[in-house]
Chain A
Amino acid sequence: MAELSAFNFRPGSSVLHGLDVRFKLIFLVLISFTSLKAYTVALSVLTLVLVAALMHSGLSLKSILKTFRYVSVLLAFIFIARALSTPGSVVAEFKAISITREGIYYGAMICWRLVIVILTGLSFVLTTRPSEIKAAVEWTLNPFPFIPAKRIATMMSLMVRFLPVIIDQAKETADAQRARGIENRKNPVYRLGKLGIPLMRRTFERADKLAVAMEARCYSENRTDPVLSSGIMDWIALCGVVCLCLVIISA
């Protein structure tokens, strides 16, 4: 699971670490939506700001680039699909397939915007404790009367906690099956069934044990509420981000 650890909270004392999680959540939404309206110059500015913020928060450029290994396939797929499907002046042609200049441009823009969204998400996750994210989710959902905010926040945090365990279990089960020659079976449905059924059984068993363990620790929805507090720095940062977004949208 070490390979997924780049997308985890890292303790630190940067400006982003010190900001209130609710403000960071607002920044995440604002910057993500603004990036949809941004083009080359604005995207360059956003990229520079975000990379600088990430590096200031303790992530090296190498680690940032490493994070994109996981999404590069998706980005490449989006780029190719856009390059091949947008009408315009043809750059290269092979039988019925043609790549257009406009397709390349728009494909690159979409990928770049996605990179901005990922960088924003990365800076949020990297500088915010999971318990604070949980608290922010709870705070956001609290005003809605029919949504069980505490339950949703707990379910979300349990999912974050158990996803790596389930992935580890899947890997372990797959390894055990490889050791018994499953690779000789070429039928993917058979292989998926042999992996999926024991994995699901183990996951449900674990969920059962977890429920008992939570009960043993007096779990109830009436718990100590998380403490969220904002300061002058949060408001200054909010002004800065709003101004940046307005400039990008109006440009």
Chain B
Amino acid sequence: MNIIEIENLSHYFADGTCGLENINLTIEEGTFVVIAGQNGSGKTTLLKHLNGLLLPTTGTVRLAGVPVSENLVKARQMVGMVFQDPDSQIVGETVCDDVAFGPENLCLDRSEVKRRVYRTLKVVGLLDFEDQKPHLLSGGEKRRLAIAGILAMEPKVLVFDEPFSSLDYPGVKQVLKQIISLHRSGHTILAAAHDLEKVIAHADRLVIMKDGKVVKDETPSQLLGELEAFGIREPCASRLGMEVQSWLN
């Protein structure tokens, strides 16, 4: 079943700049899709259409058959977005408060909010930090907290915008492990990245964007050799003619 259907999507910003041009894309439930492209290629703009943070100038985006613009709250609950800078996403004064922010916005019962907070903190391994101030967490922990804040809303689709930016090696491994475990638990994953090295070994599908258009959409193995033509670095292993390995191995 297609959980996301994008038809003839174009987006023009207020100053007339073209952000996206005639995007057609369908994403099957449970797949792991990597959207790659240079800075400014339209990756973030595309992702923001999936939960209605941006609305199309022309075209439609459907989630499980329902247009996003018909019910924005439902779309935002269904598609959880983890932003590039977790510091701008974390709103709670403590780890626990931040995770509770989403469920509280959904007007859930206090007992249900509490249940979701503890369940998601357990899932991301931050249960021992519940009373910690978010700004005192490490980069990897902050990113995991941002994921927990989204997971507490029980979305079906998880969208990651540059999930590994400014993370050290242990941080990358923590976040990658989390993403893979979420994918295994049945979530549909979309990750936007300009550096494919860390994530490509786990992706089912690779979408390449350039100047607001989708220029390639294949399995990763089919596209690895063509990446550099689109300003994306080919993973080291692939350059050396070897199979691309997971960063977790």
Binding site for B on A (CB under 8 A): 1-2, 5, 8-11, 129-131, 157-158, 160-161, 164-165, 168, 206, 209-210, 212-220, 222-227
Contact = CB atoms under 8 A, between A and B. Distances in A.
A9 B132 CA distance: 9
B162 to A, nearest CB: 13
Contacts of B187: none
Interface in B48-105: 48, 51, 53, 73, 76-77, 80-81, 83, 85, 87-94, 96-97, 100-105
Given A216-B80, A217-B101, A225-B110, 15 more contacts: A5-B136, A131-B96, A131-B100, A161-B90, A161-B134, A206-B87, A209-B89, A212-B48, A216-B51, A218-B102, A218-B153, A219-B101, A219-B105, A222-B107, A224-B106
Interface residues of B, number: 40
Given A216-B81, A224-B113, A131 B94 contact: yes
B73 A157 contact: no
A157 B80 CA distance: 23
B25 interface: no
Contacts of A210: 88-89, 91
Contact of B76 (A168, A206, A218, A225): A218
Nearest to B110: A227
A165 B133 CA distance: 11
Given A9-B131, A164-B135, A217-B76, A157 B93 contact: yes
Contacts of B88: 206, 209-210, 213
A130 B113 contact: no
A33 B96 CA distance: 34
A97 to B, nearest CB: 45
